[in-house]
Structure 1
């Protein structure tokens, strides 16, 4: 294959722009904000689960407290009725009086026990409320951090995409000046060689594989016509000669 030396050098411009496009794509995929957002989303999910559990406990203890307070009221009312019977003088039988007094004493003990239970439930309720409040505050902080990270990511992506459009336009313009057959070979080699299809020969070294050409290879390149498209014997990439090739 033959191509004018200027067209071969223009191919290096295309290669440079392709490398830039690859770098931009890599940068787009590896923005630190991506990992930051994933980490924050994981924390948010965990925090939401903890908050649901805390609010469930808060709700459960509230119902438990209401039930315990109703039990206290029920015992208190019964004790009040018994005291009214005792104070009314309507119960005159010693046996009935003893039974009534015993029941009043039993109800007083029961009321004390229930009131102790209510206090214990209230303490758990306060703890659950405080825990839910703390978790809700932490969740708000995490969601704010995530929103800020998303904003930074989107701004970075917008900048990268804008630069990519500019570079892609430059690449298309540069590629228009390269003969179709040379460009086709370049594209094929670029796909096979990890994104690099053409490399400069600089100081007798292929900048594609970074290996220095041996004397036999150098002599073959020296002997090649200026418009001959030569290939690196080591990596098979298109080897573009320049004034700095060291030939």
Structure 2
């Protein structure tokens, strides 16, 4: 925006400087025409007119230098605008790409979540209501994980190894008995790798 504003300011400044040069050029041409026409006969008026034409030529030269300097600044500003516009376009392309990948990932996650939710509903239908209620309560308390696998005598929820007395209680419990970790209170899921 700043570069575009600078370029716009330079364009206005260039237009004004070119108009000033044009006015001086027209005035010098009028004076030269008066001088060449012979309409001015007084030597003093002729001398004044020649001085003015010389002065106007100097003024025109100075103004043309200003125009050239402004044109150079404007060209530099235009190059800067073009460079920044190109960089903005490149960044926007990266943003668009990242947004597209994010949206695709969201769609994939939403699809997985819908699939897992359906699977959970089917499985939840086969679990006793009181056990499901306990699991949901623990899940809410434990950051989304209400049950953890017992792997090689270690609760995978809190990563704590069970004490020998706890292991003996788990060993002696019937296979359909709900056992819980003494450390994190999650439901322990027993498998062949539990180390019992």
CA distance in 2, matches of 1:190, 1:157: 24
Find 2:53's aligned residue among 86, 104, 118: 104
User: With structure 1 as the length reference, what TM-score do the two structures score?
Assistant: 0.71
In our comparison, the structure showing a higher alpha carbon Rg is: 2
In structure 1, the residue matched to 2:21 is: 72
Find 2:84's aligned residue among 135, 159, 163: 135
CA distance in 2, matches of 1:203, 1:82: 108
The answer to whether residue 189 in structure 2 is matched with residue 246 in structure 1 is: no
CA RMSD of aligned residues (A): 2.1
Count of aligned positions: 196
Q: 1:241 to 1:66 in 2, by over 3 A?
A: closer
CA distance in 2, matches of 1:113, 1:178: 94
Following superposition of structure 1 onto structure 2, how do residues 96-175 of structure 1 map, counting pairs within 5 Å?
Answer: 96-175=45-124
Asked which structure has the greater RCO (Cα within 8 Å, sep 6+), the reply is 1
Deviations 1:43-95 (A, max 9, x none): xxxxxxxxx22222222222211111111111111112222222233333332
Q: Which runs of 5+ in 1 are unaligned?
A: 1-51
In structure 1, the residue matched to 2:169 is: 220
Q: 1:245 to 1:137 in 2, by over 3 A?
A: closer
CA distance in 2, matches of 1:152, 1:223: 52
Secondary structure in structure 2 of the residue aligned to 1:212: coil
Q: Which runs of 5+ in 2 are unaligned?
A: none
Q: 1:172 to 1:123 in 2, by over 3 A?
A: same
Secondary structure in structure 2 of the residue aligned to 1:91: coil
Find 2:157's aligned residue among 208, 214, 221: 208
1:166 positional shift: 1.4
1:151 positional shift: 2.2
Which has the higher mean CA deviation after the structures are superposed, 206-215 or 218-227? Answer: 218-227
